[in-house]
Structure 1
């Protein structure tokens, strides 16, 4: 089994990612959290944790880690410090630690922040983080979902390198997609967008 560090494990999407990894026969989650309280929440469920702050050195969080899912975010409070520079810190540390694959939770609109009517600062930060990952030399998948909601999983998505229109998608289906692209033979060195759709998540990757 491969150890997967989940940055942002305590977030709404992060918790779902950790749960899916717990149920996987291929991967074992290591939840990266910022506080002892959050740590205890995961450890009572038998989930391995590590304390880490994206605004500081994170190299210690990657000990014995094979792959990374970056699902952290500041919720708009510190887009430069966390969403941009925190992501860059984790990317650089991952390269140093020879991480096999880095899966980035990005956002639709991060390819052209200047065209967005709102959240331009956030999308610019995500764009900068994505570009840093692309040029890092790491194997990566950059997943750009539409607007997130808390609907139940449908296990179906619409996936393209660039979708023709905006849309919504459940955090549950995003979490499934992120876990799916951890596989060695799926979505290597690619960036793609997803919204809710009619194609089974596993089959949707045939589009890339």
Structure 2
């Protein structure tokens, strides 16, 4: 089994990622949290956790880790410090630790932040982090969902490099897509947008792999 560091494990999407990873036969989650008080909720479930503040040195968090999911966010409060520079720090640490794959939770609109009517600063921060990852030596997948909902998982999505329209998708389906993107045979060095759709997540990701051949 591969050890997966989840940055942002205490967030709404992060918790879903952790719970799904805990049931996986391939992956073992390691929850990265910012405060000591957040560790217990994972420990009681038998899930490993590590303290790591994205505004500080986090090089220790990738020890013994095989792959990384970056699902952290500042909630709009510190987009440069956390969403941008925090992501860069974890990318650098992952590079130095020879992490096998880095899966980034980004956002639709991050490719053209200047075109956004709102959340421009946030989308610019995500754009900068995504570009930094692309220029790193890491294998990566950048996943850009539409507006996140708390609906139940459907297990199906719509996917493309650029979908050309807006929409919604549940955090549950985003979490599953991020985890499926970890696999070695999943899309690598790819950026893709996802929304609610009718194609199974595994088939959707397979279509992105076949597209690169």
Q: Quickly name the TM-score band, shorter chain normalised.
A: over 0.9
Matched with 2:95 is: 95
Deviation at 1:207, TM superposition (A): 2.9
Deviation for aligned residue 1:148: 0.2
Paired position in structure 2 for 1:131: 131
1:79 match: 79
Structure 1 Cα separation of the partners of residues 164 and 36 of structure 2: 43
Alignment of 1:55-74 (within 5 A): 55-74=55-74
Give the whole-Å Cα distance in 1 for the aligned partners of 2:52 and 2:190: 27
Q: Which residue of 2 aligns with 1:12?
A: 12
Q: Deviations over 1:96-140 (max 9, x none)?
A: 000000000000000000001100000000000000000001000
* 1:118 equivalent in alignment to 2:148: no
1:162 aligns with 2:155: no
Matched, 1:25 2:15: no
Output the aligned Cα RMSD.
0.5
Q: Secondary structure at the match of 1:173?
A: helix
1:206 Cα deviation from its structure 2 partner: 3.2
Q: Distance in 2 between matches of 1:62 and 1:176?
A: 22
Hey, what's the Cα distance between the residues in 2 that align with 1:7 and 1:51?
10
Could you tell me how far apart the structure 1 residues matched to 2:164 and 2:34 are?
A: 38
CA distance in structure 2 between the partners assigned to 1:106 and 1:14 by the alignment: 13
> Normalized against structure 1, the TM-score is what?
0.99
Tell me, in whole angstroms, the C-alpha distance in 1 between the residues paired with 2:69 and 2:122: 19
Taking structure 2 as the reference length, the TM-score comes to: 0.97
Matched residue, 1:140 = 140
What is the number of residues matched between the two proteins? 208
Shift of 1:66: 0.2
Unaligned 5+ residue runs, structure 2?
209-213
Q: C-alpha separation between the residues in 2 aligned to 1:206 and 1:64?
A: 29
> Where in structure 1 are there 5+ consecutive unaligned residues?
none
The question of whether the paired residues in 1 share the 8 Å contact of 2:104 and 2:143 is answered with yes
**CA-to-aligned-CA distance 1:30-84 (integer Å, 9 cap, x gap):** 0000111100111011100000000011100001000000000000000000000
